[in-house]
Amino acid sequence: MSGLTEQDCSHINVTPLTGVLGAEIDGIDLTSGLSDRVVEEIEHAFAQHSVIVFRNQNIQPEDQKRFTRMFGEFGVEPYVKTMPDHPEVIEVVKDKSEIGVKNFGGNWHSDWSFQEAPPRATILHAKEVPPYGGDTLFANMYMAYDTLSSGMRRMLDGMRVMHSARRPYGIDNKLFGTAKRSMTIINTEEAHAEYAHPAVRTIPQTGRKALFINPVYAIRFEDMTERESRPILDFLNDHATRDEFTCRVRWQPGTLTMWDNRCVQHNAMNDYDGFSRRLHRTTVAGDRPSI
């Protein structure tokens, strides 16, 4: 974890969104280069708050890519078509004509947890947003773990969960099936692969344990059937997204939000029929989850 304290962060202004998760950062222009000290202060705020929000950032894809690279290599973006001139960027879009259509990301989840090394972070920049609706909810997986009973924590500390992309991206996809008109989603047999990750992972920058499950990609416990796993996973999924663990980001044009996929779940609200919503997404590569 960074050796900085809140008092040391003199180059940025950090305002918490809630008492449990999220913060807005002022005093940053992402169209220009950032000094090593500013990046260090952003990293500190990111470790402290897990979700950080920058407002009024009039940036282009190249600016977003440069900002992303300040925190690591680009993540791999499977099953979704990327921008033609920017293969590191996904354009997350739902058109105003798509009435009653499922939106992309409209379930609680952690991005690409089905990968062998899921992304460390996601960075999302708002290009076009509805006049109301389309907010994103975030949930704190540190708190989800900390508030479990001691018996449940002991049990989960030694368990692994199988993650797979087959629900949204498999051949028999039923989850995001209607989210294809504005976004090109690729359904393939490859999405049926499974990777085992610890049910509880430790985040190196903080040394804290976080629950690492989600209702989209976490299929079952290792060496258990889906039916046997379902009661425990259903309980954990409900517990993890309790209101008191969450914050809400209201998007404005130019808002850029970065969140820690290792200890945060998120959910994009689909309450803006008749309006368009368009954002650019990049991810920062991560490591294999460890206990």
Question: Which residues carry out catalysis?
Answer: 109, 111, 266, 281
Sign of the Cα pseudo-torsion (258, 206, 107, 190, in order): positive
CA–CA distance, 142 with 209 (Å, rounded to integer) = 6
* Spatial distance between the Cα atoms of 291 and 284, rounded to a whole number of angstroms: 21
